[in-house]
Chains A and B, each alone.
Chain A
């Protein structure tokens, strides 16, 4: 049972880690990607629609990436180049994303009589490793998107802390003037990290539709984008912290699903478990003290003439 729970936790953590690593990169460069909820949603919708129409999960994934990229490009254009407020723009785009997904869902599929489903990404057992007791089942009987993270996480830590590219990104959030003086375009760095967040957020969103549910619903994301956003804060703007955060949230979600399946209405109400990840965010937000906020987070960069 515990193995099942942990394996489920790894599954539920996967999209959150994609989202929060992306958010770490963007916020380190000074950009809060507040459109993340909408990017997740577009990813989920485009991933599902692409897979359903072409019959290929790979093409669905590409659609999801393109969808996330498009929305993040719009977000980046408005916030980076036009220097508009990041929270305000993100909120507007999140509403727009709901409209776009619901509208085009209807345009493409009409009003279906039976729910539309696809076969989600298969669970792949890694040869040898999957046979390790406990750990094998938890870590090596997942789908391809989770495995990609095993590579992506160390790479993202390495790039952010050990390469000049990472230094540039971090400096852009701390001291954009210095980056500018060094001859690197601040707006370009920020725009590119936002686009990266769009790609990763698109993948994260598609995980919900084609990763394990195999369907799309308007409320499929249900605040998970915001949780990824929160994990970035709680993880102290560090991919390692984000990893810890996502595992905690993955566990909370797995536990919620498990308790619901038990039907343990008698003692604790279901709703408490559904609210658990959100309550956890609040408690952690309040209890975390040592902040490492990028100095220029959320502030547009205005070049002096």
Chain B
């Protein structure tokens, strides 16, 4: 078991390095020196407090969407719709905040908004689990398509009732300072949403690995028939798992709207769902490892943006790095599996002789 963990950590690090090396090689096509670009990319992260803490600002929503994918994945369900659940969360966060900000004290508003966001995201997610349980509707397809529905729903609201009073752009009015998530580190953009994300990751780990509910989720994931034979109601779990998954993804909407943007803008954060999925893969669907993987993706994004401004590389280089890192992580999973298999065989041989 220990050897297994060591392998998986070692190979994950190697995979990240390999992914960065190969995407660095791509820079040669645009006559940029990869070493120089990476030097700028990584040194920029530490050039000042603001940039450094931005890593965690970017990591915050990614932790949520990665957890959202992980939670259903443990039950062998696929929630590919985190992006849409995030949109729903954002819409509810901004609408509820704008409605309540004049009427109640800020902290109360935040608490109410938080509950509303979780409920809305959860309900938006749980119908996917419901139709899976009730009609055997493929959750992969329904969750995937629900993102596009949520996106158009959001665009519709931004064009009509949520549109700013100036009426110029498809975006909402800015939120009052009272309903912003408070700053965690002064002089940076880091807000308390990051702490909520950390606590959530730990909470999800506890739920999955230390509670009977989590045990049931994982049992259904490992072998649905066997778990049903032993009295687990898999159908109820589908709905619950999707509720929690949707609520997690929606929470990213709250931290982005109340913590970061302080308004809702059309077309914001379009890759948060797929990045979350990538992070979940990178972290091998472990809630604690997700924190570190999210920080890595956040760092690539922050450093990549600085590098694109300073060194003139295209911003799409970030997606290239992330994509290649993910491919190498999948390859490294294969290597770990093979190593583990060989070790088992050796062990069996030893026992037999």
Chain A residues with CB below 8 A from B319, complex form: 95-96, 98-99, 102-103
Question: Which residue of chain A has the shortest Cβ distance to B155 in the bound complex?
Answer: A271
Distance in angstroms between the alpha carbons of A236 and B140 in the assembled complex: 16
Question: Which residue of chain A has the shortest Cβ distance to B134 in the bound complex?
Answer: A286
Question: Which residue of chain B has the shortest Cβ distance to A79 in the bound complex?
Answer: B330
In the bound complex, do residue B316 and residue A92 qualify as a contact, i.e. CB atoms below 8 Å apart?
Answer: no
- Would you give the shortest CB distance from B273 to chain A, in whole angstroms? 10
Interface size class, chain A: 35 or more
Chain B residues with CB below 8 A from A82, complex form: 331, 334
In the bound complex, do residue A78 and residue B331 qualify as a contact, i.e. CB atoms below 8 Å apart?
Answer: yes
In the bound complex, do residue B152 and residue A291 qualify as a contact, i.e. CB atoms below 8 Å apart?
Answer: no
Question: Which residue of chain A has the shortest Cβ distance to B320 in the bound complex?
Answer: A99
Among candidates A87, A99, A103, A282, residue contacting B149 with C-beta atoms closer than 8 Å: A282
Contact with A along B68-89 (1 / 0, CB 8 A): 0000000000101000000000
A278 adjacent to chain B (CB < 8 Å): yes
Question: Which residue of chain A has the shortest Cβ distance to B139 in the bound complex?
Answer: A285
In the bound complex, do residue B323 and residue A92 qualify as a contact, i.e. CB atoms below 8 Å apart?
Answer: yes
Chain A residues with CB below 8 A from B278, complex form: 91-92, 95
In the bound complex, do residue B149 and residue A278 qualify as a contact, i.e. CB atoms below 8 Å apart?
Answer: yes
B18 adjacent to chain A (CB < 8 Å): no
B288 adjacent to chain A (CB < 8 Å): no
Chain A residues with CB below 8 A from B330, complex form: 78, 84-85, 88-89, 92
Q: A87-B140, A286-B131, A286-B135 are in contact. Are A103 and B316 (CB under 8 A)?
A: yes
Among candidates B80, B142, B149, B334, residue contacting A275 with C-beta atoms closer than 8 Å: B149
B29 adjacent to chain A (CB < 8 Å): yes
B56 adjacent to chain A (CB < 8 Å): no
Chain B residues with CB below 8 A from A103, complex form: 26, 314, 316-317, 319-320
In the bound complex, do residue A91 and residue B80 qualify as a contact, i.e. CB atoms below 8 Å apart?
Answer: yes
In the bound complex, do residue B324 and residue A282 qualify as a contact, i.e. CB atoms below 8 Å apart?
Answer: no
Chain B residues with CB below 8 A from A223, complex form: 144-145, 148
Among candidates A274, A282, A289, A291, residue contacting B145 with C-beta atoms closer than 8 Å: A282
Distance in angstroms between the alpha carbons of A268 and B192 in the assembled complex: 41
In the bound complex, do residue A278 and residue B136 qualify as a contact, i.e. CB atoms below 8 Å apart?
Answer: no
Distance in angstroms between the alpha carbons of A291 and B151 in the assembled complex: 30
Question: Which residue of chain B has the shortest Cβ distance to A276 in the bound complex?
Answer: B152
- Would you give the shortest CB distance from B329 to chain A, in whole angstroms? 8
Q: Which of chain B's residues 259-279 have a Cβ closer than 8 Å to chain A?
A: 271, 274-275, 277-278
Chain B residues with CB below 8 A from A182, complex form: none
Among candidates B148, B149, B320, residue contacting A96 with C-beta atoms closer than 8 Å: B320
Among candidates A99, A282, A291, residue contacting B142 with C-beta atoms closer than 8 Å: A282
A175 adjacent to chain B (CB < 8 Å): no
B289 adjacent to chain A (CB < 8 Å): no
Distance in angstroms between the alpha carbons of A269 and B160 in the assembled complex: 10
Distance in angstroms between the alpha carbons of A22 and B314 in the assembled complex: 34
Q: Which of chain B's residues 127-176 have a Cβ closer than 8 Å to chain A?
A: 131, 135-138, 140-142, 144-146, 148-149, 151-153, 155-156, 159-160
A230 adjacent to chain B (CB < 8 Å): yes
Contact with A along B322-337 (1 / 0, CB 8 A): 1110110111011000
In the bound complex, do residue B316 and residue A102 qualify as a contact, i.e. CB atoms below 8 Å apart?
Answer: yes
B352 adjacent to chain A (CB < 8 Å): no
Q: Which of chain A's residues 32-67 have a Cβ closer than 8 Å to chain B?
A: none
In the bound complex, do residue A92 and residue B326 qualify as a contact, i.e. CB atoms below 8 Å apart?
Answer: yes
In the bound complex, do residue A285 and residue B277 qualify as a contact, i.e. CB atoms below 8 Å apart?
Answer: no
In the bound complex, do residue B141 and residue A95 qualify as a contact, i.e. CB atoms below 8 Å apart?
Answer: no
- Would you give the shortest CB distance from A85 to chain B, in whole angstroms? 8
Chain B residues with CB below 8 A from A271, complex form: 152-153, 155-156, 159
A14 adjacent to chain B (CB < 8 Å): no
Chain A residues with CB below 8 A from B1, complex form: none
Q: Which of chain A's residues 108-136 have a Cβ closer than 8 Å to chain B?
A: none
Contact with A along B287-331 (1 / 0, CB 8 A): 000000000000000000000000000101111111110110111
Contact with B along A250-280 (1 / 0, CB 8 A): 0000000000000000000111101100110
In the bound complex, do residue A233 and residue B141 qualify as a contact, i.e. CB atoms below 8 Å apart?
Answer: yes
Among candidates A78, A85, A99, A229, residue contacting B323 with C-beta atoms closer than 8 Å: A99
A226 adjacent to chain B (CB < 8 Å): yes
Q: A95-B326, A99-B319 are in contact. Are A87 and B137 (CB under 8 A)?
A: no
- Would you give the shortest CB distance from A46 to chain B, in whole angstroms? 16
Distance in angstroms between the alpha carbons of A236 and B149 in the assembled complex: 24
A206 adjacent to chain B (CB < 8 Å): no
Distance in angstroms between the alpha carbons of A92 and B328 in the assembled complex: 10
- Would you give the shortest CB distance from A275 to chain B, in whole angstroms? 4
Question: Which residue of chain A has the shortest Cβ distance to B146 in the bound complex?
Answer: A282
- Would you give the shortest CB distance from B322 to chain A, in whole angstroms? 6
Among candidates A84, A106, A230, A282, residue contacting B314 with C-beta atoms closer than 8 Å: A106
In the bound complex, do residue B281 and residue A92 qualify as a contact, i.e. CB atoms below 8 Å apart?
Answer: yes
Question: Which residue of chain A has the shortest Cβ distance to B26 in the bound complex?
Answer: A103
B351 adjacent to chain A (CB < 8 Å): no
Q: 14 additional contacts, CB 8 Å, given A95-B323, A96-B323?
A: A78-B330, A82-B334, A91-B281, A96-B320, A96-B324, A99-B317, A99-B324, A102-B314, A103-B320, A106-B30, A230-B144, A271-B155, A275-B153, A285-B137
The 7 sampled A-B contact pairs (Cβ below 8 Å) are A78-B330, A95-B322, A99-B323, A107-B314, A270-B156, A278-B145, A285-B145
Interface set of B (CB-CB < 8 Å, partner A): 26, 29-30, 78, 80, 131, 135-138, 140-142, 144-146, 148-149, 151-153, 155-156, 159-160, 271, 274-275, 277-278, 281, 314, 316-324, 326-327, 329-331, 333-334
Interface set of A (CB-CB < 8 Å, partner B): 74, 78, 82-85, 87-89, 91-100, 102-107, 223, 226, 229-230, 233, 269-272, 274-275, 278-279, 281-282, 285-287, 289, 291
Sorted nearest first, the 8 A-B pairs with minimum C-beta distance are A96-B323, A99-B319, A102-B316, A99-B320, A92-B326, A275-B152, A278-B148, A106-B314
